[in-house]
Chains A and B, each alone.
Chain A
Amino acid sequence: MLTPKERLKLSLKRMPVDRAPCICPGGMMNMIVEEVMDLTGCPWPEAHSNPELLAGLSAGMYQCGGFENYGVPLCMTVEAEAMGARVGMGTKINEPKVTGYPITSVTEWRKLKPLDLAQGRVKVVLEAIKILKSKSSGVVPIIGNLVGPVSLAASLMEPTVYYKELCKNNRESHELMGFVTANLIRFGRAQLQAGADVLAIADPGGTGEILGPKMFREYAVPYLNQIIEAVQDLVSVGTIIHICGRLKSIYPELNLLRSDAVSFDSISSVKQVAEKIRNKAVMGNVSTYALERGTKERVKLLAQNCLHKGAAILAPACGIGPRTSLANIRAMVETAQEFGPFGHNL
């Protein structure tokens, strides 16, 4: 029998497996629900700032029969905060979010703080990974998470101004992107050095729907690929990129991404993505709305459908709502367990 970590590795490398893994990376792809906070005694918002609580909460999901991975952080504000953004830490059921931007234009990128690996919640995340490493005994894969470069840049200044400046101020936009990416690479490498097995990058602000194919190719693809390449020597299990929104306008660009897997939201169909993206494992995409509001039967049906259509890795389509029931998450995991072998006929 494969361990969850071995299984995820094979799936990311598009090798045959006994069955598809069922994961949720963390980061923007929230993997935590209120029930797990209560069962582990590690609630939000405290867990975001304390390595023991963060590790305890993240490990709790697997221990409660949920997703087959650990993952940190459990929000998408760590990098922005470290680079100067003001962040509200949220509540037990609301994730932290950026409340104040450090710059007003891409031209001010030199004012941004370099991300300090030894301070604040960056340090909390790295320590939590070390704790998770000892909890996992090499059995459960640990996913380190990064906010994608476009989304991070759009968390450091007003997004509408940012998007306009991508058009108008090409040179300095690229300078900002280069600076943001260099900092993400350092954080990504540090997470892997601390013990993460997988690196997942989610770039909800850098979608084909927002940017269009031309700007996606100019501002999203090269910087995402820079990160993937810069961490290759440290990645033991694989890399994942999550892109939100409709994908149909950017299939050629998605084929340029160098991650092992591509994850996407429920608006895009697994079947179409599996047909169009030939060089990556397809991961997705059970509706988070169904997970939170639907019955177990409905969740199972949607999960079966994803697997039938060619998902190599079963995952929610986006971050799950913290009020999602553990029962529905277990139903999703059970569907993967019962579904049987994947990839043997490829």
Chain B
Amino acid sequence: MGDSLKQKLLLTLSDAVVEMDEDKSVAAAQEYIENGFDAYEGIEQGLAHGMNRASRLYAEEQYFVPELLLCSDAMYAALDILKPCLKKAESAAKKRVVIGVVQGDTHDIGKNLVKIMLETAGFDIIDLGRDVAPADFVEKAKEIDAQLIALSTLMTTTMDEMKEVIDLLKKEKIRDQFKVLVGGGPVSGGYAKSIGADGYAPNAAEATKIAKELIAKGCRNRN
């Protein structure tokens, strides 16, 4: 009985995200917690499941930026209810990411989409916003002992700011402590390689996959 109710609520959480229905996702999250079901599974198999479906619709050009933002509102509203119920160990094991749009650029829609996808996938995100100086990325990454630094830009004229961040890490001899993921309109895999980034994400959905791979690799290096 409990199991089928749980399955039903997980599906409702997922559907509510896809349907951009904040009231529905909040109600489902409350009922889910009241029944004592596991919060981590609620996030993973309900909310993240829904965001993955939404990002698939985005990739298929059935959803666009406004729809994806509304899906994320429904997701965040339910996440606020589920998060406090996570067991300690689960939240401590989180992967820490510093994200931002590089200096000189204020286009942050792409960065926000990546942030949403990473957050749904269980990453702990520090968002530095837009027009961020290289030193600010590096300082924040050191401060929170981040595993990953994610850099975004939409403009060809500010692409080289990504290199500045990487060069600063090298200069401070801490390049190996962090993985650097880059993305944004004009950025390509070739460009990422040429500036010494660890990874390139062509879109928000891919960013999660690549971030996970990079951090898995990074953890091996650290240990």
Contacts and interface: CB of A to CB of B under 8 A. Distances in A.
Contacts of B61: 212, 249
Given A160-B112, A288-B156, A212 B104 contact: no
A85 to B, nearest CB: 12
B109 interface: yes
Interface string B177-193: 00000000110000000
The SS class assigned to the B binding surface is: loop
A230 interface: no
B174 interface: no
A97 B101 CA distance: 14
Interface string B92-107: 0000000000001010
A321 B65 contact: no
B111 to A, nearest CB: 10
A318 interface: yes
Contacts of B156: 287-289, 292, 318, 321
B70 A168 contact: yes
Nearest to B113: A160
Contact of B109 (A98, A160, A168, A321): A160
Contacts of B64: 209-212, 215
B129 to A, nearest CB: 11
Interface string B40-70: 0000000000000000000001011111011
Nearest to A168: B70
B67 A167 contact: yes
Nearest to A319: B157
A212 B63 CA distance: 7
Question: Chain A at the B interface: mostly helix, strand, loop or mixed?
Answer: helix
A292 B186 CA distance: 13
Contacts of A211: 64-66
Contacts of A98: 106
Nearest to A322: B157
Contacts of B63: 212
B198 interface: no
A288 B157 contact: yes
B164 interface: no
A163 interface: yes
B77 to A, nearest CB: 13
A94 interface: yes
B119 interface: no
Contacts of A287: 156
Given A97-B106, A289-B186, A215 B66 contact: yes
A274 interface: no
Given A249-B61, A288-B156, A163 B106 contact: no
Nearest to B103: A94
Interface residues of A, number: 27
A159 interface: yes
A272 B201 CA distance: 26
B65 to A, nearest CB: 5
A292 B106 contact: no
A124 to B, nearest CB: 22
B73 interface: yes
Contacts of A249: 61
B73 A321 contact: no
Nearest to A289: B156
B157 A163 contact: no
Interface string A25-63: 000000000000000000000000000000000000000
A164 B67 CA distance: 7
Contacts of B20: 167
A332 B185 CA distance: 24
B157 A166 contact: no
A160 B69 contact: yes
User: Which of A98, A210, A212 is the most central at the interface, judged by chain B CB atoms within 10 Å of its CB?
Assistant: A212
Contact of A163 (B69, B185, B186): B69
B104 A94 contact: yes
Contacts of A168: 70
Contacts of B131: 97
A54 B194 CA distance: 38
Contacts of B155: 318
A215 to B, nearest CB: 6
Contacts of A292: 156-157
Nearest to B186: A289
10 contacts: A163-B66, A164-B66, A164-B70, A211-B65, A212-B64, A212-B66, A287-B156, A289-B159, A292-B156, A318-B156
Interface of A: 94, 97-98, 159-160, 163-164, 166-168, 209-212, 215, 245, 249, 267, 287-289, 292, 318-319, 321-323
CB-CB nearest 4 A-B residue pairs: A212-B64, A321-B157, A289-B156, A163-B66
Given A97-B131, A215-B64, A288-B156, 6 more contacts: A160-B69, A163-B69, A167-B67, A209-B64, A212-B63, A212-B65
